[in-house]
Structure 1
């Protein structure tokens, strides 16, 4: 976008000075244009980098807590307009502490990265995966229906187990969900509901 603005500015500059005012045209015009474009391109890349880092978890590359909450408010409004539901899934890894204690934190980090990969592969382009903190993840699922939610959760758990079967055969995930607007209209309320469901699942397993 920045390069486009600079390019447009230089086109206007050319027509104003050299066509409208009839100033002599020199080759240095192209040098200055190239310089301005280079600066704009570099500034644009830095902005994109800062924006990416502000939205993402540095370890897994998934979105962070602030971003998922902001995204929820946007998609909730869209869901209201379309009269659709929205799923909020909470996911917690079982035996994650054992992995850290037995193999070290670098192995724990490796596991989190693998889980993030499994989640991003499983969800659709309209969904969003975020690291909530520690070994917890949140997934926003577009148009998630209550009558198919349990089946969706089981498939999600299987995807994570299969992804980690070779390197972490004993690690599974406890998953809970809540659905907007049936189970709540605020993000905090839905997270609480999904979290309670998740810990019920963890105790049963």
Structure 2
């Protein structure tokens, strides 16, 4: 969801400016109050709102992956630090989930980049559909996603892996599946770099058990 800080700040500055303008010209200087004061105020507010909206749009797209509309990796550590701070205060645990799509390269090569792009969007939509309100989904690069999940339950790891691969199977992506690595804050690390490394090792261990000899089948998406 696009933020609104730019619009709030711009409109707030204009309102403050017009309050000062009113007191300076009509109270301090004693000039006669004219109705065009409101016309100018509306014009200033409109320009401020449009300018603030452009700032909000630019910030939104700078933080987003244009293909999947998930966050991009430029903002992941900033988001992680905010979520960790909240979890520390509430004495909760947080999961870093690294997801790599199996056989994606083969499907991409066999059926073309358009099919590959549609598949990435489809998987991103599955992740977003299953995400909770405070979760953050990031396209880490290529066919990899990172899912940051605060306030996890004790049996989180097995449940997550089972649920995601079930979703991929139910949606008839037979040669796909996902290799998933999960690291838990603070049990396996307290900073993002350590946790993503732990998740990466777990993901590759799972990937090593996946059969790469499966024949790619066109995904029904």
Give the superposition deviation at 1:33. Answer: 1.4
1:202 to 199, 202, 207: 207
- The number of residue pairs the alignment matches comes to 202
Deviations 1:17-70 (A, max 9, x none): 224433122233233212211210111011101111121111111011121211
* The 10-residue stretch of structure 1 (96-105 or 16-25) with the greater mean CA deviation from structure 2: 16-25
* The 10-residue stretch of structure 1 (21-30 or 95-104) with the greater mean CA deviation from structure 2: 21-30
Q: 1:174 is matched with which residue?
A: 179
Give the superposition deviation at 1:144. Answer: 2.0
Cα distance, 1:132–1:179 mapped onto 2, change above 3 Å: same
Structure 1, unmatched stretches of 5+, are: none
Alignment of 1:40-189 (within 5 A): 40-162=48-170, 164-165=171-172, 168-189=173-194
Q: How far apart are the structure 2 equivalents of 1:169 and 1:156?
A: 14
Give the superposition deviation at 1:147. Answer: 3.2
Q: Which of the pair is proportionally richer in helix?
A: 1
Question: Quick check: 1:146–1:179 contact (8 Å CA) kept in 2?
Answer: no
Say what the alpha-carbon RMSD is for the aligned residues: 1.7
Moved over 6 A (4+): none
Question: Quick check: 1:122–1:159 contact (8 Å CA) kept in 2?
Answer: no
Scaled by the length of structure 2, the TM-score of the pair is: 0.85
Deviations 1:72-127 (A, max 9, x none): 11211222222111100000101111221111111111111111111011010111
Q: How far apart are the structure 2 equivalents of 1:129 and 1:160?
A: 17
Question: Quick check: 1:176–1:196 contact (8 Å CA) kept in 2?
Answer: yes
Q: How far apart are the structure 1 equivalents of 2:197 and 2:77?
A: 13
Scaled by the length of structure 1, the TM-score of the pair is: 0.91
Q: How far apart are the structure 2 equivalents of 1:33 and 1:160?
A: 54
Give yes or no for the alignment of 1:22 onto 2:30. yes
Cα distance, 1:183–1:146 mapped onto 2, change above 3 Å: farther
Structure 2, unmatched stretches of 5+, are: 1-7, 211-221
